[in-house]
C-alpha cells in the first residue's frame, strides 16, 4: 500500500477511463450537436483539473464552470483552443479578469450584458459571450422583459460576439414533466425573434429528452460522473467513484448499551460494532445516522447511531471478525451501493453526495479502460 494511502482514513477512487467512456456515450446520443462538459464545483468534487484534462484528450473543447475563480484555475491546464464558459457571468467589476484569462462569460442579465459591452470598449475589440435567457426556471438568464428590450435596442450586443444563446432545463430528469415541453416551446419562440446564432440547451438529463432539446452544444455534468440521467430508468452510465474507509477498532457491546452521540442506538442484544474513519466532515452526511449502510464483500452492514464528525459506527455482527478488524476496509460507495443509492438513503441526490466528498480522502485516479502501462495520467495525485 502506498504511504499516502496508508496514512488516510479512506480512499476515494476516481476512474477517469469511466468518465471518458461516459463522455463518448453521451456524444453518441447527439446528431449534430457538440458535447461540452460541466466541470464546475471541482468537477462535482472529483477534481476539475484531472477530469478536464481527461475529457480534453477525448476531444472535448467546451468546458463550463460556475465561478470566475474556477475558470482562472482551470485555464492553464487546458489547450488554448478549449473554450471555458463561466456560468455565473461577470459580477460587477470583474469583466477585465475574464478578458485577461480568456474566459467566456454566460451573460445572465441586461446589466451583465452592459458590463460586457463596456469591457469590449475598454479592450478595443469584440468579445465573445453566451447569453442565457430564462425559459421558466427563474434562476439565471435574461427575463422576458429584458429580451423584449433587446429586440428594440440595435446596440444591445454592440462589441459582443454572441457564441450561443442558452437556456437551462428545470425538470429534465423527469421525462414526463410538462415543464420540459413548455421550456422547449418558450426557447424556440425566443429564438425566432432574436438574432440567429447557435444554441446551448441540454444538461445530462436533457440529452435523453431527444434531439429537439440538444441545440448546438450540450452541457452534461452529472452523467459524466456516473449519476443516472433519467429518473425511474436504469442507469446507462458507467460508475466512476468508489469509496472505501478503514476500520479503526471493533468492540462487542451488550444488550442495553448505546452507540454514539445522543445515545440514539441501544443494542437489543450482543452486537459487534466497528468504528470507521469517515464522518460528516468527510461528506458522509449526518443524515445517514441510523439509516445508511456500508458493505463488506457485498454484504450490507447497517450504520448504527449518529454519524460523528470523523467516524461512523457499523453493526458488523453478521460478518466474520477476520474480515473486519483494525485497518481493514469497508465499502461506502461501490458496485453494491452506487452514488445514487447512497443519495437515496440520505434523502438527497447524487449531485450532493459527490460535491460533498471530503478533502481528507486519499484520492486515487485510475483508468480502468486503458491498460495500466499505457496510462498517461499518474495513478495518484501525489506520485513523484
Ligand X SMILES: *Cc1c(COP(=O)(O)O)cnc(C)c1O
| Residues forming the active site | 40, 261
Candidates 87, 217, 274, 332: give the one binding ligand X (CB under 6 A). Answer: 87
Based on CB atoms, which residue is closest to ligand X, 139 or 270? 139
* Alpha-carbon Rg for the chain in angstroms: 24
Give the residue among 210, 242, 222, 241 at the shortest CA–CA distance from 350. Answer: 222
Based on CB atoms, which residue is closest to ligand X, 139 or 255? 139
Candidates 53, 117, 219, 362: give the one binding ligand X (CB under 6 A). Answer: 219
Candidates 112, 204, 317, 334: give the one binding ligand X (CB under 6 A). Answer: 204
Candidates 62, 88, 168, 214: give the one binding ligand X (CB under 6 A). Answer: 168
What is the number of other CB atoms lying within 10 angstroms of the CB of residue 208? 18
Stretch that binds ligand X, among 12-20, 215-223, 301-309, 368-376 (CB under 6 A): 215-223
Stretch that binds ligand X, among 190-198, 213-221, 236-244, 250-258 (CB under 6 A): 213-221
Asked if 220 is part of the footprint of ligand X (rule: CB under 6 A), the reply reads yes
Asked if 62 is part of the footprint of ligand X (rule: CB under 6 A), the reply reads no
For residue 239, what is the DSSP state?
P
- Answer whether 171's CB lies under 8 Å from 187's CB: no
Candidates 221, 260, 305, 350: give the one binding ligand X (CB under 6 A). Answer: 221
What is the distance between the alpha carbons of residues 50 and 72, in angstroms, rounded to a whole number?
A: 15
CB of residue 252 vs ligand X: minimum separation in angstroms? 45
Based on CB atoms, which residue is closest to ligand X, 52 or 87? 87
Asked if 38 is part of the footprint of ligand X (rule: CB under 6 A), the reply reads yes
Based on CB atoms, which residue is closest to ligand X, 39 or 296? 39
Asked if 222 is part of the footprint of ligand X (rule: CB under 6 A), the reply reads yes
Burial of 384 (0-12, 13-18, 19+ CB in 10 A): exposed
Count of alpha carbons within 13 Å of 100, Cβ hemisphere only? 9
- Answer whether 37's CB lies under 8 Å from 220's CB: yes
CB of residue 351 vs ligand X: minimum separation in angstroms? 7
- Answer whether 62's CB lies under 8 Å from 130's CB: no
- Answer whether 240's CB lies under 8 Å from 19's CB: yes
Based on CB atoms, which residue is closest to ligand X, 219 or 295? 219
Based on CB atoms, which residue is closest to ligand X, 147 or 222? 222
CB of residue 348 vs ligand X: minimum separation in angstroms? 15
Cell of 247: 476500520
The residue number with the shortest CB distance to ligand X is 221
Helices (H), the chain: 3-7, 16-28, 40-44, 48-57, 68-74, 95-100, 110-123, 144-151, 178-193, 204-207, 339-345, 350-356
Asked if 203 is part of the footprint of ligand X (rule: CB under 6 A), the reply reads yes
Q: Give the binding site for ligand X (CB under 6 A).
A: 38, 40, 87, 168, 203-205, 219-223
Amino acid at each position: 500500500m502506498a504511504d499516502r494511502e496508508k496514512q488516510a482514513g479512506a480512499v476515494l477512487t476516481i476512474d477517469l477511463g469511466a468518465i471518458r467512456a461516459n463522455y463518448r456515450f453521451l456524444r453518441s446520443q447527439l446528431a449534430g450537436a457538440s458535447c461540452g462538459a460541466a466541470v464546475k464545483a471541482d468537477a462535482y468534487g472529483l477534481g476539475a483539473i484531472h477530469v478536464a484534462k481527461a475529457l480534453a484528450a477525448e476531444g472535448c473543447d467546451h468546458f463550463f464552470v460556475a465561478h470566475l475563480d474556477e475558470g482562472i484555475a482551470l485555464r492553464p491546464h487546458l489547450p488554448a483552443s478549449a473554450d471555458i464558459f463561466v456560468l455565473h457571468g461577470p459580477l460587477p467589476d470583474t469583466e477585465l479578469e475574464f478578458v485577461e484569462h480568456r474566459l467566456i462569460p454566460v451573460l445572465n442579465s441586461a446589466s451583465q450584458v452592459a458590463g460586457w459591452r463596456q469591457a469590449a470598449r475598454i479592450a478595443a475589440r469584440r468579445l465573445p459571450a453566451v447569453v442565457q435567457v430564462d425559459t421558466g426556471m427563474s434562476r439565471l438568464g435574461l427575463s422576458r422583459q429584458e429580451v423584449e428590450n433587446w429586440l428594440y435596442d440595435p446596440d444591445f450586443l454592440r462589441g459582443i460576439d454572441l457564441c450561443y444563446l442558452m437556456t437551462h432545463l428545470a425538470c429534465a430528469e423527469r421525462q414526463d414533466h410538462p415543464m420540459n415541453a413548455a421550456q422547449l416551446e418558450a426557447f424556440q419562440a425566443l429564438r425566432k425573434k432574436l438574432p440567429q446564432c447557435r444554441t446551448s440547451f441540454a444538461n445530462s438529463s436533457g440529452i435523453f429528452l431527444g434531439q429537439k432539446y440538444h441545440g448546438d452544444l450540450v452541457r452534461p455534468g452529472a452523467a459524466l460522473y456516473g449519476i443516472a440521467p433519467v429518473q425511474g430508468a436504469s442507469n446507462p452510465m458507467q460508475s466512476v467513484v468508489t469509496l472505501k474507509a478503514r476500520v479503526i477498532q471493533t468492540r462487542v457491546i451488550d444488550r442495553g448499551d448505546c452507540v454514539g452521540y445522543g445515545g440514539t442506538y441501544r443494542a437489543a442484544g450482543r452486537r459487534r460494532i466497528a468504528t470507521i474513519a469517515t464522518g460528516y466532515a468527510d461528506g458522509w452526511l449526518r443524515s445517514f445516522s441510523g439509516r445508511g449502510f456500508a458493505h463488506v464483500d457485498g454484504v450490507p452492514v447497517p450504520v448504527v447511531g449518529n454519524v460523528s464528525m470523523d467516524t461512523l459506527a457499523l453493526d458488523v455482527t453478521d460478518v466474520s471478525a477476520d474480515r473486519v478488524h483494525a485497518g481493514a476496509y469497508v465499502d461506502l460507495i461501490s458496485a453494491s451501493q452506487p452514488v445514487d443509492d447512497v443519495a437515496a438513503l440520505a434523502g438527497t441526490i447524487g449531485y450532493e453526495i459527490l460535491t460533498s466528498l471530503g478533502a481528507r480522502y486519499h484520492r486515487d485516479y485510475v483508468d480502468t479502460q486503458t491498460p495500466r502501462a499505457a496510462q498517461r495520467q499518474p495513478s495518484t495525485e501525489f506520485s513523484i
